[in-house]
Amino acid sequence: MGFVVLHMEKAHGSDSGTTAHIERSIIPKNADPTRTHFNRKLIEYPDGVKDRSAAIQRRLEEAGLTRKVGSNQVRAIRINVSATPEDMERIQREGRLDEWCTDSLKYFADTFGKENIVAAHLHMDEKTPHMHVTLVPIVKGERKRRKREEQAKKRYRKKPADTVRLCADDLMTRLKLKSYQDTYAAAMAKYGLQRGIDGSEARHVSTQQYYRDIKRQTEELKAEVMELQEQKDTAREELARAKKEIQTERLKGAATTAAANIAESVNSLFGSNKVKTLERENTALQNRIVELEEEARQRERQQAKQMQEMKSTYEQQNSKLSEFVNFVKCYFPYVEKLMPTIKFLRDTLHFGDVVIRKLCTFKDVSIKGELYSREFNRHFKTDNAVCSLKQNTEGKFELNIDGISHVSWFRRKKDEFMEALGMPTKKQDRSIKL
């Protein structure tokens, strides 16, 4: 069994930096921009609330607090939940990722109050899928008196037991943090997950610490690159020196040969042991020249081989990628046209992966529950709507519900809603004018 990951930390002020990270207004270095569109917002903000920081402020304004919130007071608690990478991959592969998100949010809503959970986002563009949950620490009850106040025996007007307060310390005591680890692990047991080892020295790495580690590793890599560049320059200098030495040795060899010829002529007249000495030196020089030339050729062959291997590897990878893309375009020409529709089903209608996969096989799927309309900014209930993907006259794929386009279906539902309220619809207005 794998382990659950539950990390909680306090946030001061508006926590705008974390908001930018979570909502991807700034793409962090550890995220894959090509997968950012798979991220999901799991809780819709109320009207007039544009982001996570504004949602925190809205909850504080509507909580009914009697004390002024301090400028450096903890206004939110960041919660990060996930599991070991292998188990998150398994949950996603089994099509249970949406269920995991729903059960996790239900746990936090039951534990801290649904009204205090103001934001939740699923990140799919980092190494391991994980969820960011934002908790506003609104609690009820009288605050604990400070020890020195009790010792001074000051008298205080006792406040009602249900007084609403903003207090992160009440929620993050040592015993409560341990309890969260135990109860959350119990809620996640259905996914084959268990609590981490109690008392383990493993610690969550914050985003700031991650960036510091990345910066340190980058500096180390720069130093290694500089060292490798220096080694490369040294190798080039040695190669140039060797070539120069070969040229010099050739000149010396030519001079030695000439001297040997002269000495041989003189020896024929007078005879001398110096002739044999010069011959030996000439032979040694010739051998040295051959060795240096062979070393230079070996270095050149080695460099050429390395370049050829790198070129071959690149060409193979590029060929496989091109082959795969051409295969998809040839045998599945509709895949590219389906991508905008899949994004609409996932991001706007919040369909699960299992439903989307079945729709992409062009099968009818029955939907029960609520469907969200971006045009009217509301959800419409349905008991058994039949959904399917159809290709329109322009060749694009669109979602049909109960045999008509989703746009027409939502407009019909809106008219039914208006009629139920006794309000005239556009269709009725036209009939009155006639």
Number of domains the chain is built from: 3
User: What is the dihedral sign for C-alpha 188, 192, 197, 203?
Assistant: negative
User: What is the dihedral sign for C-alpha 134, 44, 124, 26?
Assistant: negative
Residues 304 and 351 in one domain: no
- The answer to whether 118 and 134 are in contact (CB under 8 A) is yes
- Our separate counts of H helices and E strands in the chain read 12, 12
CATH number at residue 187: 3.30.930.30
What would the two tokens of residue 149 be? 């106040």
SS3 396: coil
Which of 330, 358, 388 marks a domain boundary?
330
The radius of gyration of the chain from alpha carbons, rounded to an integer in Å, stands at 37
Quick one: pLDDT at residue 325?
A: 82
C-beta atoms surrounding 243 within 10 Å: 13
**231 is a domain residue:** no
Residues 36 and 161 in one domain: yes
Q: What mean pLDDT is predicted for residues 355-370?
A: 90
**147 is a domain residue:** yes
pLDDT of 26 strictly over 70: yes
**220 is a domain residue:** no
- The answer to whether 180 and 8 are in contact (CB under 8 A) is yes
Quick one: pLDDT at residue 217?
A: 66
**45 is a domain residue:** yes
What predicted TM-score, i.e. pTM, was given to this entire model? 0.47
pLDDT of 210 strictly over 70: no
C-beta atoms surrounding 55 within 10 Å: 21
**221 is a domain residue:** no
Residues 178 and 318 in one domain: no
pLDDT of 205 strictly over 70: no
Residues 320 and 339 in one domain: no
C-beta atoms surrounding 203 within 10 Å: 8
Quick one: pLDDT at residue 70?
A: 86
pLDDT in tens, 337-350: 888 999 999 988 88
If pLDDT is split at 50, 70 and 90, which confidence band does 147 have? very low
Residues 324 and 344 in one domain: no
* Separation in Å, CA 241 to CA 236, 294, 304, 393, 415: 8, 15, 20, 73, 88
Which of 330, 349, 377 marks a domain boundary?
330
Residues 314 and 298 in one domain: yes
* Separation in Å, CA 379 to CA 349, 376, 413: 10, 8, 10
**212 is a domain residue:** no
Spatial distance between the Cα atoms of 61 and 74, rounded to a whole number of angstroms: 15
**217 is a domain residue:** no
Tell me how far apart the 2 most distant CA atoms of the chain are, in Å.
Answer: 139
Which of 330, 360, 395 marks a domain boundary?
330
If pLDDT is split at 50, 70 and 90, which confidence band does 149 have? low
Residues 185 and 246 in one domain: no
Residues 139 and 248 in one domain: no
Dihedral of the CA atoms 199, 204, 209, 210 (nearest 10)? 140
**232 is a domain residue:** no
Instruction: Please state whether 74 falls in left (phi above 0), alpha (psi between -120 and 50) or beta.
Output: beta
Quick one: pLDDT at residue 269?
A: 45
**Residue 323, domain extent:** 239-330
What would the two tokens of residue 290 be? 């051959």
More confident residue, 309 or 275: 309
Quick one: pLDDT at residue 274?
A: 61
Instruction: Please state whether 47 falls in left (phi above 0), alpha (psi between -120 and 50) or beta.
Output: beta
Residues 320 and 364 in one domain: no
95-105 burial, b for 16+ CB within 10 Å, e for fewer?
A: ebbbebbeebb
- The answer to whether 2 and 192 are in contact (CB under 8 A) is yes
Residues 10 and 126 in one domain: yes
Residues 340 and 323 in one domain: no
Cβ neighbours of residue 177 under 8 Å, at least 6 residues apart? 8
More confident residue, 417 or 275: 417
Nearest by Cα to 263 from 156, 379, 255, 188: 255
Quick one: pLDDT at residue 180?
A: 93
Nearest by Cα to 117 from 127, 131, 130: 131
Residues 111 and 148 in one domain: yes
Quick one: pLDDT at residue 249?
A: 65
Spatial distance between the Cα atoms of 168 and 188, rounded to a whole number of angstroms: 25
Spatial distance between the Cα atoms of 140 and 162, rounded to a whole number of angstroms: 5
